[in-house]
Amino acid sequence: MTDAAIAEPPVSTPADPAKGEPLLQVSNVEVIYNHVILVLKGVSLTVPKGGITAILGGNGAGKTTTLKAISGLLKSERGEVTKGRILYRGADVAAQDPAEGVKRGLIQVMEGRHCFEHLTVEENLLTGAYTRSNSADVKRDLEMVYEYFPRLKERRTSQAGYTSGGEQQMCAIGRALMSRPETVLLDEPSMGLAPQLVEQIFEIVKSVNEQEGVTFLLAEQNTNVALRYAHYGYILENGRVVMDGEAKALRENQDVKEFYLGMSDQGRKSFRDVRSYRRRKRWLS
Amino acid sequence: MGVGLLNTIEVILNGLMTGVMYSLVALGFVLIFKASGIFNYAQGVMSLFAALTLVGFQSGQIPFAELINAVFGTDVHHFGFTMPAILATLCALAVMVLFAIIVERLILKHLVNQEPIILFMATIGLAYFLEGFGDMMWGSDIKTMDLGLPQGGSFWFEDVTKTWAAEGSDYWGMYVDVLDVIAASVAICLVIALTLFSQYTKTGRALRAVADDHQAALSVGISLRYIWVVTWAIAGLVALVAGSMWGAKSGVQFSLSLIALKALPVLMLGGFTSIPGAIVGGMMIGVGEKLFEFYVGPMVGGATENWFAYVLALVFLVFRPQGLFGDKIIERV
């Protein structure tokens, strides 16, 4: 058990000691939708510069809400950050417009792709550069995106609505990269894709992270893949962080293995053990 | 050519001209519907208001003269100068842009994420408010609009077409109203400009992006509020063009707002989401109702123009509900 790993505060366990300064700090954030539905009950996490950080958890755990609270998209869904602070490079961004976030270099790729389906793939990518004005730079970045996603170059003149799910996911990620982001909030990139394609997309995320130095914070249900590519992970349950640690440590963790990776070396556990797991959980908030 | 054939051509030509006028009104609806999913009930009244403002500026009328007179007991009505048509048009356009900004600030901003039906209701309220406001601002008397555009039949066209008929037949040439031709040309220029704008500019691309998926548009940093102002300002421009063309044709009066009713069948035919659809739909309705009136009208006692468009729209609703050019719904799982 990695109680020791958990006990360490997240700030002091950067993904990579060389690039360890925290870029994004979410502390004790509470989110309420429609003035009544409490979704996040005090979530805290830290994203180091240049790392890939994963938020894991099941349906309704609050992964998407966490990302939307950071990017500012929450407001357009009548959600509201009622407590806590979200600091991006030291500035409080909890109340910002998504457009301000994009200008700061913080952009979200939404769950379920959300491409502009009547625009061509290339127009979709160009829309990603909406907040930028230097057209020479934009043109260069378009070529960069095509280099990472050669498939998109082949389909550049097709309407995005007629491309496949994988191509749409690539298009959505490429569109976000067109804004020259410092941090990409990537929501559920594996959704509805074949395992091989998921692997391919995570490979691209990894190479963008390594070559362009883009920081990623991704929300994933596919714990297995996410923990292989991420440096650090947080596990969310019912709007709270219940566990966090280095990806490697989480992969080895008995509870994570059992509850999220579906592996167990002791056979079936009795219900009493499950309850003891619940009791053992720490509420990090 | 036989006289019958020439008559048919004349009817079609006039139908096309009328149709373009319908298209102009329908265009305003399509623009706002595409960008924000709102069916803007106030589009017809916006045309009226734009036309009133144009005439008001041109004739140097004092806005709110009645109100001022009632409150202060004065008797003011005109500044005593007149404005050239082009300047008055620019001023009216500025007023329409200002109107777009006010609508965004006072209404749209507060109704973000509400159901489309609520936004629709808001535009109904806006329509009646604007009608009353226009009345208060410029008075309710019928005004003539003189933009300096030529009016009446074209003698040249009549002379040319006279020679097309067979020798010795009793044919007097075709009647085509010059104003209609001008209106049609203006409409075509407007559509070309709008198409170029939405296809090749950054803001145009953002407009289309918002129309597709406003959440995703937000996420890449497009400001919905700015896009709404742009859309309503463009709809205001279209309303101004439609209002001034209809106003020049039939005078600026409050029944002008009812031309919006003629745009509904056009939208059903052409589709609510297609600019070319609005143009072609308008022409089909124009030509269809004129031809129907010409050939079938005499058999049923005439006055078919009043209902033909709506029946045609009904038929379309049954067989092709998204209209001729409406967006096919792209969906992939």
| Per-residue pLDDT, B327 | 65
| Chain A residues lying within 8 Å of B201, measured CB to CB | none
The CATH number assigned to the domain holding A235 equals 3.40.50.300
Share of chain B above pLDDT 70, in %: 97
Kindly state whether residue A92 falls inside one of the protein's structural domains: yes
CA distances from A97 to A25, A41, A104, B115, B219 (A): 18, 23, 11, 22, 9
CA atoms within 13 A on the CB side of B94: 7
| Chain B residues lying within 8 Å of A119, measured CB to CB | 205, 208-209, 212
Kindly state whether residue A197 falls inside one of the protein's structural domains: no
Q: Is the pLDDT of residue A19 over 80?
A: no
| Chain B residues lying within 8 Å of A176, measured CB to CB | 220
| Per-residue pLDDT, A16 | 46
Residue B87 neighbours by CB under 8 Å, 6+ apart:
B57
| The residue to which tokens 């919006």 are assigned | B260
pTM metric for this prediction = 0.82
| Per-residue pLDDT, A21 | 75
| Chain B residues lying within 8 Å of A110, measured CB to CB | 215-216, 219
A66 pLDDT band, cuts 50/70/90, is very high
Residues lower than pLDDT 50 in chain B:
333
Q: Average pLDDT in the A9-20 region?
A: 44
| Per-residue pLDDT, A271 | 52
Q: Is the minimum CB–CB distance between B328 and chain A shorter than 8 Å?
A: no
Question: A127–B112: do the CB atoms touch at under 8 Å?
Answer: no
Search chain A and give the residue with CA nearest B226.
A99
Closest Cβ opposite residue A107 in set B214, B220, B330 = B220
Question: A71–B212: do the CB atoms touch at under 8 Å?
Answer: no
A-contacting residues in B 183-202 (Cβ below 8 Å): 202
Q: Is the pLDDT of residue A8 over 50?
A: no
Kindly state whether residue A119 falls inside one of the protein's structural domains: no
Kindly state whether residue A161 falls inside one of the protein's structural domains: no
Question: B221–A77: do the CB atoms touch at under 8 Å?
Answer: no
| Chain A residues lying within 8 Å of B331, measured CB to CB | 161
| Chain B residues lying within 8 Å of A93, measured CB to CB | none
ipTM entry:
0.82
Contact A224, A256 (CB under 8 A): no
- The structure tokens listed for B54 are 């144009």
Q: Average pLDDT in the A258-282 region?
A: 60
Please give the radius of gyration of chain B, using alpha carbons only, rounded to the nearest integer. Answer: 22
Rounded distance between C-alpha atoms, residue B48 and residue B56, angstroms: 12
At A240, give phi and psi (nearest 5°).
-135, 150
Question: A77–B209: do the CB atoms touch at under 8 Å?
Answer: no
| Per-residue pLDDT, A3 | 45
Kindly state whether residue A204 falls inside one of the protein's structural domains: no
Q: Quick one: how far is CA B171 from the chain centroid?
A: 35
Q: Is the minimum CB–CB distance between B113 and chain A shorter than 8 Å?
A: yes
Contact A19, A27 (CB under 8 A): no
Q: Is the minimum CB–CB distance between A175 and chain B shorter than 8 Å?
A: yes
Give per-residue pLDDT as tens, A241-266. Answer: 988 999 999 988 888 887 777 776 66
A77 pLDDT band, cuts 50/70/90, is confident
- Segment holding B145, helix H or strand E: none
The count of domains in chain A is 1
At A45, give phi and psi (nearest 5°).
-155, 160
| Per-residue pLDDT, A20 | 60
Kindly state whether residue A185 falls inside one of the protein's structural domains: no
- Provide the residue range defining the domain that includes A21: 3-50+61-104+231-280
- Segment holding B61, helix H or strand E: none
Give per-residue pLDDT as tens, B85-113. Answer: 899 999 999 999 999 999 999 998 888 77
Q: Is the four-CA dihedral A102, A106, A111, A113 of positive or negative sign?
A: positive
| Per-residue pLDDT, A258 | 76
Q: Quick one: how far is CA B294 from the chain centroid?
A: 25
Q: Is the minimum CB–CB distance between B333 and chain A shorter than 8 Å?
A: yes
Question: A162–B113: do the CB atoms touch at under 8 Å?
Answer: no
| Per-residue pLDDT, B325 | 77
| Per-residue pLDDT, A149 | 95
Question: What angle is formed at CA B313 by the lines to CA B312 and CA B318, rounded to 5 degrees?
Answer: 100
DSSP count for chain B of H helices, then E strands: 14, 0
Closest Cβ opposite residue A118 in set B206, B208, B218 = B208
Kindly state whether residue A212 falls inside one of the protein's structural domains: no
Kindly state whether residue A200 falls inside one of the protein's structural domains: no
- The structure tokens listed for A145 are 């995106």
Q: Write the secondary structure of chain A as one string of H (helix), E (strand) and C (coil).
A: CCHHHHHCCHHHCCCCHHHCCEEEEEEEEEEEECCCEEEEEEEEEEEECCCEEEEECCCCCCHHHHHHHHHCHHHHHCEEEEEEEEEECCEECCCCCHHHHHHHCEEEECCCCCCCCCCEHHHHHHHHCCCCCCHHHHHHHHHHHHHHCHHHHHCCCCEHHHCCHHHHHHHHHHHHHCCCCCEEEEECCCCCCCHHHHHHHHHHHHHHHHHHCCEEEEEECCHHHHHHHCCEEEEEECCEEEEEEEHHHHHHCHHHHHHCCCCCCCCCCCHHHHHHHHHHCCCEC
Give per-residue pLDDT as tens, B107-165. Answer: 988 887 778 889 899 999 999 999 999 999 998 888 888 887 887 888 888 888 888 77
Question: A164–B332: do the CB atoms touch at under 8 Å?
Answer: yes
Share of chain A above pLDDT 70, in %: 85
The nearest CA of chain B is from the CA of A55 a distance in Å of 20
CA distances from B281 to A184, B11, B32, B37, B288 (A): 45, 17, 18, 20, 10
Closest Cβ opposite residue B218 in set A76, A161, A172 = A76
Contact B288, B237 (CB under 8 A): no
